[in-house]
Structure 1
Amino acid sequence: MTRNNNNFLWGLLFIVLGIGFAGNAFDLWHFSIFFPGWWTLFLIIPCGISIIQNGFQTGSIIGFVSGVMLLLSCQGFVSTRLIGQLIIPVILIIAGLGIIFSNSSKKTISIKSSDFQKKNSEHLTDYTATFSSQSISLDNQIFTGASINAIFGSVTLRLDNAIINEDVVINSNATFGGIEIYLPAYVNVKVSSTPIFGGVTNRRHGIVNSDAPTVYINATCMFGGVEIR
């Protein structure tokens, strides 16, 4: 999905919310986002948009499915006890399927900035922390791209000693979580972000070398943040 389409989804969401609350002011209807389980939307919406934007990444699917299950529980469609028993098995099944199909799928990644080109690449390595933390160091290893998801958790990806020989993509989704990305000094960095009560801190401004590889970072931050060092 391009940046314009991605912004269209977020813009449409805020327009619908604005119209809903405006209708309350004129007594046209009763609109409220504070229904039982409303807080699950902070999982469902950003993870759903991440799926549309970046494809079926394991972390986004886990967050989306977990949010839907919790919403169904809050609405009384499924018992809380059953959800508590099923949520871990469902996460394990989704993670397992992600591992099985990680080497067989290919996708087209669209960088979210007008000057970014569409790039074809192998399925991105998925790093996910859900209600947990994860730290990854790729020392003297070739890095070809990654998808990072921090959902009520944190992920640290250390690439400062990694080998980057070509342009690569890092898709990142921080939902009530934080992501830190350490990059080698010799690479260029281009960032495109969608901040919703969150944001990106980029400490790597500017072009290092026009002939050097570029790391393209797509960041979706909802009550979370991504820091690039």
Structure 2
Amino acid sequence: MSKHAKNIIWGLLLIAVGAGYLGELFELWKFTLFFPGWWSLFLILPACISLLKYGIQFMMLMVLSLGVYFLADANHWIDFRLSVPLVAAVGCICAGLHLLFARRTKWYEYGCKD
């Protein structure tokens, strides 16, 4: 398939999704795409791919955790009153583990040179 044909297909798909959400915004029709919280996959999938490709990284674990949290919250799998302290506690534990086990030199990780 040529690049031009791919652009046409993606363009039509994006216009259809945008029109669907716009119609729902103005209460013209009911529009849902996939399932509640589907957009959290934009956080979950890249984080999983990065973890598999580059190994365990603190930021990718946090992005993955945040994506899973948003997905669970959108589908009402967790109770909001319980989830805020739980996320705060897990965040504190993750930050503490990161401080304990992080590399001492961060210049290589961020692409900076001495």
Q: Provide the TM-score with structure 2 as the length reference.
A: 0.60
Structure 2 equivalent of residue 96 of structure 1 = 96
Structure 2 equivalent of residue 39 of structure 1 = 39
Give the structure with the higher percent helix.
Answer: 2
Taking the aligned partners of 2:37 and 2:55, their CA distance within structure 1 comes to: 26
What is the CA-CA distance between 1:63 and the residue it aligns to? 0.7
Match of 1:146 among 92, 109, 112: 109
1:72-87 correspondence to structure 2 within 5 Å? 72-87=72-87
Pair 1:48–1:124, CA change in 2 (3 A): farther
Pair 1:67–1:96, CA change in 2 (3 A): same
Taking the aligned partners of 2:41 and 2:63, their CA distance within structure 1 comes to: 11
Pair 1:65–1:124, CA change in 2 (3 A): farther
What is the CA-CA distance between 1:55 and the residue it aligns to? 1.0
Taking the aligned partners of 1:77 and 1:65, their CA distance within structure 2 comes to: 15
Counterpart contact for 1:70–1:83, Cα < 8 Å: no
Counterpart contact for 1:40–1:68, Cα < 8 Å: yes
Greater C-alpha radius of gyration: 2
Structure 2 equivalent of residue 60 of structure 1 = 60
Residues 155-202 of structure 1 show CA distances to partners (whole Å, capped at 9, x for unaligned) of: xx8x4xx52xxxxxxxxxxxxxxxxxxxxxxxxxxxxxxxxxxxxxxx
Using CA pairs under 8 Å that are at least 6 residues apart, name the structure with larger relative contact order, 1 or 2.
2
What is the CA-CA distance between 1:69 and the residue it aligns to? 1.8
Residues 38-82 of structure 1 show CA distances to partners (whole Å, capped at 9, x for unaligned) of: 111111111111111111110000110121122112222111232
Q: Provide the TM-score with structure 1 as the length reference.
A: 0.32
| Unaligned segments of structure 1, at least 5 residues | 1-31, 104-122, 126-142, 148-156, 164-229
AA partner of residue 85 (structure 2):
Q
Give the structure with the higher percent strand.
Answer: 1
What is the CA-CA distance between 1:87 and the residue it aligns to? 1.8
How many residues in Structure 1 have an aligned counterpart in Structure 2? 83
* Identical positions, percent: 33
CA RMSD of aligned residues (A): 2.5
Taking the aligned partners of 1:79 and 1:39, their CA distance within structure 2 comes to: 20
Taking the aligned partners of 2:80 and 2:37, their CA distance within structure 1 comes to: 12
Taking the aligned partners of 1:79 and 1:50, their CA distance within structure 2 comes to: 29
1:98-177 correspondence to structure 2 within 5 Å? 98-103=98-103, 125=106, 143=107, 145-147=108-110, 159=112, 162-163=113-114
Q: Secondary structure at the match of 2:85?
A: helix
